[in-house]
Structure 1
Amino acid sequence: MAEPGQLIRSLSGRPAARNFHSFVINEIGMGVASGAFPVGSTLPGDAEMIDRYEVSRTVLREAIKTLEAKGLVEARAKVGTRVLARNRWNLFDRQVLFWIFHATPEPGFTDSLCEVRAGLEMQAVTLAASRRQAEQMRMMRYWLAQAHVSAAMVESHGLAVFEIHRLMAEASQNPILRSATGLVEFALAMALRGQMQAGVTDFAAEKTAAYEALITAIDKGDGAGASAVMAGILSADRGWIR
């Protein structure tokens, strides 16, 4: 199971799985997301997969069950394990998003992501402005300072910015918004990767002032002001993603 922040931590290279079970899930999941195992195709049989990944039948079958739960495959007796259409994949699952990110998502997917992210985050900051707590505001300012001092380190900077967004979702006191931060992390990672590819070395320069204004607006209870600033942040990220 991917953890919050794992996608941003992987910007310098995809980390190795921690055990055989994770290894098999990641290898097959990446194969599906990248098209190495195309939609509609049937995965190789157990014997071939066991030999390929050097794991037991039990580990392989547990991995397939996990992938079924994520909507990537469907196992049927006497038929085999079929790769399901993308509209069956659980796109709120952090691990599925991790695989899509490293397989290079299609432009249509990133456009859809930006649309959904905008709805989620605009709502989150509006609610946060009326429901925030003092400790949440203190931590937002702490992570803003961390984002500034780590401006030259893409992963540390990215994690600090992600914590600001996560705290905003937390401050909204809406459990559904809190559960959707995997999509936010995906978008942040995409924007950071775009900056890396463009040769950016100061990742804080473009948006530090905007985040300062955003946190101030939330602290003052100014939902409209917070929404206006967030719209600018989303626009900047969308440019790097595209």
Structure 2
Amino acid sequence: MIETGSLIRSLSGRRAARNFHTFVINEIGHAIVTGEFSIGSVLASDAVMMERYGVSRTVLREALKTLEAKGLVEARPKVGTRVSPRSRWNFFDPQVLAWHYHAKPDPELYQSLFRVRAALEAPMIALATRHRSAEHVRLLKYWCHQMETADDSVEQFGLACLEVHGVIAESGRDPLLRSILGVVELTLALALTRDKAMSGEAYRARSAALFVQLTATIEAGQLEEAGQIYEACRLLDQSQTL
């Protein structure tokens, strides 16, 4: 499992430290999601893959087991490791979602991501308005300020925005709702790197202003108003992506 925020950090070209195991997982997973290794194809033999990635058989096998757990591949006796149909992929896995950032644009997938956000973040906002603590509000205000002062740093802005979503999830006291942060991170990364509805600078300014308003309504416990502002936040991201 990758750390939340890894995709946003990668937008600046910064690479996280990695070991051989995570390197192989990322290389093969990326190749599958982007279509380099096509669905239904059988991966090359262990010897070929070991030479390609410069790793031992043990590292390769462990990486393939991880990818199998994500639903991307399936090992079959006397056949080898075959790339699984997309219907078996775990699309709630943050790493699987992050690989889609580099894949060919898929409007149907993007629409699905925003449907999930609409379905799950709305109750999250409602819970946050009921259960937020003073510390939650303090953190929301801090990260909103970081969004406002990010200037031209897409990475700083994106990470601060992701933190806001994380605090809202924590304040709602529902651990399962926090699991959609991978969905949020991918849609946020897409919105940050596309100039569709507005320029990147204008998008970031509008988004920061909306989250400041959202924080105020959560602090005041204004359920209906918070829901309306959240909807505006989501639609802004959506218009910038689709």
- Taking structure 2 as the reference length, what is the TM-score of the superposition? 0.95
> Structure 1 residues 204, 117: CA separation in 2 closer, same or farther (over 3 Å shift)?
same
Report 1:68-107 matches (<5 A): 68-107=68-107
Look up the match of 1:209.
209
What is the identity, as a one-letter code, of the residue corresponding to 1:35? G
Would the aligned equivalents of 1:128 and 1:172 in 2 still touch at CA under 8 Å? yes
Aligned partners of 1:6, 1:109: CA distance in 2, in Å?
A: 20
Look up the match of 1:136.
136
Would the aligned equivalents of 2:125 and 2:168 in 1 still touch at CA under 8 Å? yes
Look up the match of 1:37.
37
What is the identity, as a one-letter code, of the residue corresponding to 2:149? V
User: SS in structure 2 opposite 1:160?
Assistant: helix
Q: Deviations over 1:47-97 (max 9, x none)?
A: 111111111111111110010011000011211001001111111111111
Deviation at 1:200, TM superposition (A): 2.5
Report 1:101-120 matches (<5 A): 101-120=101-120
User: SS in structure 1 opposite 2:204?
Assistant: coil
Aligned partners of 1:107, 1:39: CA distance in 2, in Å?
A: 19
- Taking structure 1 as the reference length, what is the TM-score of the superposition? 0.95
Deviation at 1:194, TM superposition (A): 1.2
Look up the match of 2:66.
66
Look up the match of 1:127.
127
User: SS in structure 1 opposite 2:41?
Assistant: coil
Aligned partners of 1:196, 1:233: CA distance in 2, in Å?
A: 16
Count of paired positions:
242
What is the identity, as a one-letter code, of the residue corresponding to 2:48? E
Give unpaired runs (5+ residues) of structure 1: none
User: SS in structure 1 opposite 2:101?
Assistant: helix
User: SS in structure 1 opposite 2:147?
Assistant: helix
Aligned partners of 1:169, 1:199: CA distance in 2, in Å?
A: 29
What is the identity, as a one-letter code, of the residue corresponding to 1:6? S
- Please state if 1:191 is matched with 2:191: yes
User: SS in structure 2 opposite 1:175?
Assistant: coil
Would the aligned equivalents of 2:190 and 2:241 in 1 still touch at CA under 8 Å? yes
Report 1:17-28 matches (<5 A): 18-28=18-28
Aligned partners of 1:104, 1:172: CA distance in 2, in Å?
A: 35
Aligned partners of 1:203, 1:127: CA distance in 2, in Å?
A: 27
Aligned partners of 1:46, 1:192: CA distance in 2, in Å?
A: 39
Deviation at 1:36, TM superposition (A): 0.6
Would the aligned equivalents of 1:152 and 1:203 in 2 still touch at CA under 8 Å? no
Deviation at 1:203, TM superposition (A): 5.1
- Please state if 1:166 is matched with 2:166: yes
Aligned partners of 1:195, 1:20: CA distance in 2, in Å?
A: 36
Give unpaired runs (5+ residues) of structure 2: none
Would the aligned equivalents of 2:129 and 2:220 in 1 still touch at CA under 8 Å? yes
Would the aligned equivalents of 2:170 and 2:178 in 1 still touch at CA under 8 Å? yes
- Please state if 1:153 is matched with 2:139: no
Aligned partners of 1:233, 1:19: CA distance in 2, in Å?
A: 37
Deviation at 1:196, TM superposition (A): 9.3
Q: Percent sequence identity over matched residues?
A: 49
Would the aligned equivalents of 1:72 and 1:89 in 2 still touch at CA under 8 Å? yes
Aligned partners of 1:140, 1:149: CA distance in 2, in Å?
A: 14
C-alpha RMSD of matched pairs (Å): 1.7
